[in-house]
Amino acid sequence: MTYVELTAQGLGEKTRAVEIWRKLVAVDTSFFTSPLSEEIRDEGRTEGRTEGRASDVLRLLDRRGIALSEADRERVTSCKDLDTLTRWFDRAITASSAAEVFLDGGPSGG
């Protein structure tokens, strides 16, 4: 555990080497608890929540018969901001058009 953390710290932040290291130690760390392994799990949980919320937005609009362009679909699926996706979901409940959902613009790609 100590070596994993020391290696991660030594590689720095946001470098290609640390990305590779994170993938290597993420292979099967279910038995392992450390700040790095918890950070990796948290990132996975967040990614899962954003993907799920994006899917919810698209499904809700589809079920309500609100037409979306391919650009709008891409905008939703590529968005990585959970707050924005939640705002879009809330608006999708009552919106009469895609323009109403994306009223304030929000992230163009996430």
d(CA 64, CA 75): 19
Instruction: Return averaged pLDDT per consecutive 10 residues of the chain, 110 residues in all.
Output: 74 81 69 69 75 93 94 93 93 94 65
pLDDT of residue 29: 53
Per-residue pLDDT, 32: 61
Residue 109, pLDDT score: 44
The residue count for the chain: 110
pLDDT for position 53 = 92
In the chain, what are the domain boundaries? Answer: 2-101
Threshold 0.85, pTM exceeds: no
Nearest to 56 by CA among 108, 101, 106, 105: 101
What whole-number distance in Å separates Cα of residue 37 and Cα of residue 4? 9
Q: Summarize pLDDT for 40-69 with one digit per residue, the tens.
A: 766 767 777 889 899 999 999 999 999 999
Predicted confidence at residue 73, as pLDDT, reads 95
**Residue 110: per-residue pLDDT:** 44
How far apart are the C-alpha atoms of 104 and 14, rounded to whole Å?
Answer: 31
Single-letter amino acid, residue 98: A
